[in-house]
Chains A and B, each alone.
Chain A
């Protein structure tokens, strides 16, 4: 069922090559963040901010340069299989025998991720220039976005798990800053805090996991970890795997730490596209894939991952059915797709998981940017019920979103079909039929709610009042590129079982080892047929229900719909179990410790001083002679003290 270390042995010999260009990929966006951040600070108190053109160009330049560098290094990797780029910027921590360096490492897995992140990041920066036009925090926005990209690349490219953790925390901070970007709105600021707190819960487990790893192996770098864990018994590995999984659950918004992601839509839409769809939330999947040598040895934890992934996928997909906010639909869809990825990595199909991360990044970024374009055109209207008939007004957006909807629904030959089917096929092949069924059901639901979104936004006629403005060029360009990606990226992983060349499998086998899926071609074709049928059924239901909608339909009622509207009560539960008790404890602490004890002590001290002053000021007569008498009194006391202490015999008779 699960491959062993021996199977994972590298097929191609690794040849490491050092290049400082690799560190530049990470450092460039961070440098950009520093420059833009100081510009933001400079322009904050001034009426007239800096020119948006300049800021936008600068903000997009660093990701673009990073993307070029990443493509250059990746192209060399392509030409020379087994090539692994490294860079070392010197020692970071040195404590007696233990030494940690600022090291970067780009193997086939992180190379693929880097290329994806930098390219999509650049496109989203480009899109943001139009989207954020006229915002007071323009410079701050680009600074945060650049910083995010730097942190994400650090997460991906670090050659040790501590660097990964720093990037992990860095993206968390940027996510917090960008969700609460419009912080004057208390609800949006609260959403940022919620995301941060939920992530912190996960990070706690992650950090413990890292410490246990160090305890076990005395290493932080991945190569050392892999070698050091070869002898570790499974029970201990399982503890580590579980702790690390908690971190992944927080970052990738899986049950029970998924509650932050839908709220994270409070941030600007391009941020949702970049951070909360394409890159950051996939960090958990990446981490599990990166540490595959742990998870492939712990079947129980892997099964837990599959279970969590399946539950999350199904739950989020069902909630998405009743959402009317265009961004909320996409948010739940993201949670659901992340569930797919978890199912894949849990089932040991790391290639399928990463493949889905890769394709998902394209079509989900396209969907979010499309949503952003719609929101921009409708002047910040996000309610699907007030859209409709946008096909004519926003042709490029429509095209890109149609492709992406088809892709996410799993209609061949769009990207989602290949990656999703790869996952379903792996589940079936591992004998996890129940989860295969859940995945299939989720696929049907996905097709339905995505086309519900599509028809509500683009079909029929316009139901809103807001004036529709045209889509700017800077928005069209990224939409087109990402739409093309949503069509083409699937061809990188054609199903091997049908005898087609699966480049993704081949490429990542350098990391995960050869993982030949021997299967029945007929069975595979049949399963594909079933999933395509289910997806088509979902689309058809949506078509029938929403395509010719004239006015907004009444909201669904009934116990099931209620439960979906309540999002299965997770928020209510957390509110009752965690938030309110904590708040009550805080109030108690405020009343007793702060008000009664600290303030009380100060107030009492003040009162005592007042009384003392009232008495002592009677002595301050203002008369010099009175002061002379006091002096005399003091002198007498001092003389008495001196004589008794130093001349003990003086008072003896």
Chain B
């Protein structure tokens, strides 16, 4: 019978996979997908905690995370399209005009 420890371990694994993708990939789409992966890792721990403490608040948080992920998806995809139109590339290392 899997306990909360196991669920949280899976959650942490997914989160760290997302983190590794976020810092090691150059493709903008990949970075975006890594972030989605991290969000889902956290969502799993919310649901697990909710089940463990027998309180539904974690479900509500997970629900909010999904809503925010949707908003984020919309905005970042629009930005990727715009950036690609302007620069014909989706390599994040090519975008460094914010260099101080």
Q: Which residues of A contact B (CB under 8 A)?
A: 616-625, 628-629, 632
Apart from the given pairs A622-B96, A622-B99, A625-B24, 5 other A-B contacts in the complex at a CB distance below 8 Å? A620-B99, A620-B100, A621-B99, A624-B31, A625-B92
Does B98 count as interface, using CB distance less than 8 angstroms? yes
Q: Is the CB of B92 within 8 A of A621?
A: no
Q: Is the CB of B99 within 8 A of A625?
A: no
Size bracket of the B interface: 10 to 19
Q: Is the CB of B92 within 8 A of A622?
A: no
- Shortest CB-to-CB span from B14 to chain A, Å, is 16
- Shortest CB-to-CB span from B80 to chain A, Å, is 12
Q: List 20 A-B residue pairs with CB atoms under 8 Å apart, sorted by A's residue number.
A: A617-B100, A618-B100, A619-B100, A620-B98, A620-B99, A621-B96, A622-B95, A622-B96, A622-B97, A622-B99, A623-B92, A623-B93, A623-B95, A623-B96, A624-B31, A625-B24, A625-B26, A625-B93, A629-B23, A632-B19
A620 to B99, CA, bound (A): 5
- B92 — which chain A residues lie within 8 A by C-beta? 623-625
Task: Output the residue of A617, A623, A629, A632 with the most chain B CB within 10 A.
Answer: A623
Main secondary structure of the interface of A (DSSP, over half): helix
Q: Is the CB of A628 within 8 A of B23?
A: yes
- B93 — which chain A residues lie within 8 A by C-beta? 623, 625
The residue in chain B whose Cβ has the minimal distance to the Cβ of A621 is: B99
> Would you list which residues of chain B between 57 and 100 have a CB under 8 Å from chain A?
92-93, 95-100
Does B46 count as interface, using CB distance less than 8 angstroms? no
A628 to B20, CA, bound (A): 10
- B96 — which chain A residues lie within 8 A by C-beta? 621-623
Q: Is the CB of A625 within 8 A of B23?
A: yes
- Shortest CB-to-CB span from A442 to chain B, Å, is 82
- A624 — which chain B residues lie within 8 A by C-beta? 31, 92, 95
A621 to B92, CA, bound (A): 12
Which one of B23, B24, B26, B100 lies within 8 Å of A622 (CB-CB)?
A: B100
- B23 — which chain A residues lie within 8 A by C-beta? 625, 628-629, 632
The residue in chain A whose Cβ has the minimal distance to the Cβ of B34 is: A628
- Shortest CB-to-CB span from A582 to chain B, Å, is 50
- A619 — which chain B residues lie within 8 A by C-beta? 100
- A621 — which chain B residues lie within 8 A by C-beta? 96, 99
- B95 — which chain A residues lie within 8 A by C-beta? 622-624
- A617 — which chain B residues lie within 8 A by C-beta? 100
A629 to B92, CA, bound (A): 14
- Shortest CB-to-CB span from A202 to chain B, Å, is 63
- Shortest CB-to-CB span from B100 to chain A, Å, is 3
A616 to B92, CA, bound (A): 22
- B31 — which chain A residues lie within 8 A by C-beta? 624
A619 to B99, CA, bound (A): 9
- Shortest CB-to-CB span from A617 to chain B, Å, is 4
- B26 — which chain A residues lie within 8 A by C-beta? 625
- Shortest CB-to-CB span from B94 to chain A, Å, is 9
Interface flags, B6-30, vs A, CB<8A=1, else 0: 0000000000000100111010000
